[in-house]
Structure 1
Amino acid sequence: MESHLPNGTGPKAAAYVTAQPGVQRVPSPKLDLFVQKDFLDPVTCAILVELIDARRQPSTIADANGDPLYRTSETCYLDAIDPRVDGLERRIADFLGVDPIFGEPLQGQRYAVGQEFKAHTDYFEPMGADFLKYCAETGQRTWTAMLYLNTPDAGGATRFKAIDKIVQPETGKLLAWNNQRKDGTPNPSTIHHGMKVRAGTKYVVTKWFRERPWPQ
């Protein structure tokens, strides 16, 4: 398969992901959004859940917006020195056709009952107070890959507001989307809401990629 640009940008990016075996492309002209069921096996998902539980801390946001309940989950970074983490990061990069050097460290998130991440975009607002702090060296975020590690008892879906698409969490299911428009500018239609968990607990891992290499 012919690859596109190594950081996942450019007109061939979505076509590359579309060609992956078993992938489902959500039909919308507003954004490039993909679903891949059974991307990761349940045993490895359970191992990653244990790693998150051992490291989790209250989640933060880049630009404070005055809402203390905007993101109420817990978060941690997973160390790529662990071969299971490194292997997953490489699988995700290969799925997207992105060179791994453009990837941020893998982040784990835990949502208990009532916790959520209100509607947000993953890119950094170009006019935001902390844009230079987070993007001066590595550039803007290009792709997001989010993997559900378990199926909570109720709730915890991800809603893409601009296209009114709700994706239910299932063990091993991967969501991937391009945070940019075709011209390379941030795509506001990628706004999404990690909805409240109503019963049980939700675990996910998220991998973001940048325009320029991530410092090693």
Structure 2
Amino acid sequence: MDNPFDQMVIDSLMSQPGIQRVPTPKLTLFVKRGFLSPDECAAVIARIDGNRRPSTLANYNGDAAFRTSETCDLDADDPVVAAVDQRIAAFSRLDLAYGEPMQGQRYEVGQEFKAHTDYFEPQSVDYEKYTSVAGQRTWTVMIYLNEVEAGGSTRFKAIDKMVQPETGKLLAWNNRRPDGSPNPSTIHHAMKVRAGQKYVVTKWFRERPWGWA
């Protein structure tokens, strides 16, 4: 049985028209097509293109090719970004006070993010550094901003589920098990782009209010 907070989020997502819950007991994963319009997606893409940097890892594992995308730290005060934030909150009932600042990612041909989980590994060297203020990550909301010519799918390895990029498509998943522990079955791989470019935005939520400056 999910805890009351997660159940509230699940109930909110399940009430949305056109939502699909992936049928698996291993993780809680939702898909919603057309969450953002093409115009909204184009506006966010323009912001990613205007302010991007090499993506980083919370815990570097020695593999320089593990994550090769570019990242944009989106400005929460930008009306376009704020509107997307508010849409996510209304859709999921996830409290923006618990949300990290939204990020955009851009993948060129050959770029990927190898199989990983979004939560912070409790045994990792920097676990306390990343969780001391706001705690562990709870939910992930990711939105594809464009259709990719070839490649760029997201593969959830534990359930062998491939999700194809599609303009405006939202994914939402719980990074925890019902008992609150990190769920390793959320491992996912942003597959290599083979032709074109891939743009996404990601919003992570935490156990406690986001208190970093």
Q: Fold-level match, TM-score > 0.5? A: yes
Paired residues of 2:8 and 2:93 also in contact (CA < 8 A): no
Matched residue, 1:107: 103
Q: Does 1:161 align with 2:140?
A: no
Q: Does 1:181 align with 2:177?
A: yes
Q: Does 1:40 align with 2:55?
A: no
Across the aligned residues of Structure 1 and Structure 2, the Cα RMSD in angstroms comes to 1.2
Aligned counterparts of 2:144 and 2:9: Cα–Cα separation in 1: 23
Aligned residue runs from structure 1 range 121-160, under 5 A = 121-160=117-156
Matched residue, 1:27: 23
* Aligned pair partner of 1:207 in 191, 203, 211: 203
Displacement, 1:12? 3.7
Report the residue type matching 1:46 in the other structure.
A
Matched residue, 1:49: 45
Report the residue type matching 1:90 in the other structure.
Q
Aligned counterparts of 1:88 and 1:113: Cα–Cα separation in 2: 27
SS at structure 2 position matched to 1:64: coil
Give the TM-score normalised by the residue count of structure 1. 0.94
Report the residue type matching 1:198 in the other structure.
R
Paired residues of 1:52 and 1:78 also in contact (CA < 8 A): yes
Report the residue type matching 1:92 in the other structure.
I
- Paired residues, what number? 210
Paired residues of 1:10 and 1:184 also in contact (CA < 8 A): no
Give the 4+ runs in structure 1 shifted more than 3 A.
9-13
Report the residue type matching 1:210 in the other structure.
R
Matched residue, 1:196: 192
Aligned counterparts of 1:13 and 1:157: Cα–Cα separation in 2: 25
Matched residue, 1:17: 13
Paired residues of 1:11 and 1:182 also in contact (CA < 8 A): no
Matched residue, 1:74: 70
SS at structure 2 position matched to 1:46: helix
Aligned residue runs from structure 1 range 58-69, under 5 A = 58-69=54-65
SS at structure 1 position matched to 2:71: strand
Gaps of 5+ in 1: none
Give the TM-score normalised by the residue count of structure 2. 0.96
SS at structure 1 position matched to 2:120: coil
Paired residues of 1:45 and 1:172 also in contact (CA < 8 A): yes
Displacement, 1:69? 0.1
Gaps of 5+ in 2: none
Matched residue, 1:95: 91
Does 14-23 or 180-189 show the bigger shift?
A: 14-23
Displacement, 1:18? 1.7
> Percent same amino acid at aligned positions?
64
Aligned counterparts of 1:51 and 1:214: Cα–Cα separation in 2: 23
